[in-house]
Amino acid sequence: MNDLSKDTQLKLSDALQFTSDAIETDHVSLRNLLCLVGEQGMLLFCILLTIPFLLPISIPGTSTPFGLLIVFIGIGVVLNKGPWLPATLMERHFSSKQIKLVLMKGAALLTRIDHLSRPRLFLLTSNSTNRCNGILIILVAILLMLPLGAIPFTNTLPAWVILLICIGMLQRDGMFIIWGYLLAIATLAWFCFLGMGLFVTGQNVSDILR
């Protein structure tokens, strides 16, 4: 399995575009996609899994399986080794047309991000710090899995956190790590606000039904 912290040899946007160009069948499994990602490794695969939640791309039924795979990748980051990924999830097939759309839109998004990223603040991407980054990925991926997709930002915010952390680790850019943690704080605040709102609504409904 590829080293989770392996340096990228290409711009991330180029890696996604090359992956899209390499798809030649009508349907592609997640395992095939991981193989096509190649030397970029698990973190780029993790970025790929977040893209449907960042852009107006509809791939039904992806929140739970994609979120669960990101959890396992986060565990791999914490343990600093290639993660175990469930075969039942990795063998799921998707339309190549849908996946190519995800990859092309993801490449366009990362093109705007690539020029902002550069190696800096190395302490925040060291092996020991990456364990903390992995824990954050796990926690935020769990939020991504919650069945709250109809509520604004409940998928988008966690996905952005994961994207920023993964870019920071791949490019050894501690500034992206900082942005990821700041956005994680905002994300947790948003979910706490939603939780309080649901609790108050439940209390009001309970009072009405008495």
38: left (phi over 0), alpha (psi -120 to 50) or beta: left
Task: Output the CA–CA distances (angstroms, integers) from residue 129 to 41, 42, 70, in the order listed.
Answer: 19, 18, 18
Domain count, the chain: 1
Measure the N-to-C terminal CA separation of the chain; round to a whole number of Å. 58
**Domain-located, residue 148:** yes
Predicted model pTM: 0.86
**Domain-located, residue 143:** yes
**Domain-located, residue 7:** no
**Domain-located, residue 80:** yes
Residue 164 structural domain: 12-209
**Domain-located, residue 131:** yes
Q: Which two tokens stand for residue 31?
A: 């395992």
**Domain-located, residue 37:** yes
Q: Which two tokens stand for residue 153?
A: 């930002």
Q: How far apart are CA 195 and CA 192, in angstroms?
A: 5
Q: How far apart are CA 50 and CA 63, in angstroms?
A: 9
Q: How far apart are CA 131 and CA 138, in angstroms?
A: 11
**Domain-located, residue 5:** no
Contact (CB, 8 A) for 74 and 134 = yes
**Domain-located, residue 77:** yes
Q: How confident is the prediction along the chain (210 residues), in pLDDT tens digits per residue? A: 344 444 445 688 888 888 888 888 888 888 888 888 865 688 999 999 999 888 766 566 677 888 899 999 999 999 988 888 888 888 888 888 888 888 888 898 898 888 888 899 999 988 889 999 999 999 999 998 887 767 778 889 999 999 999 999 999 999 999 999 999 999 999 999 988 887 787 777 766 766
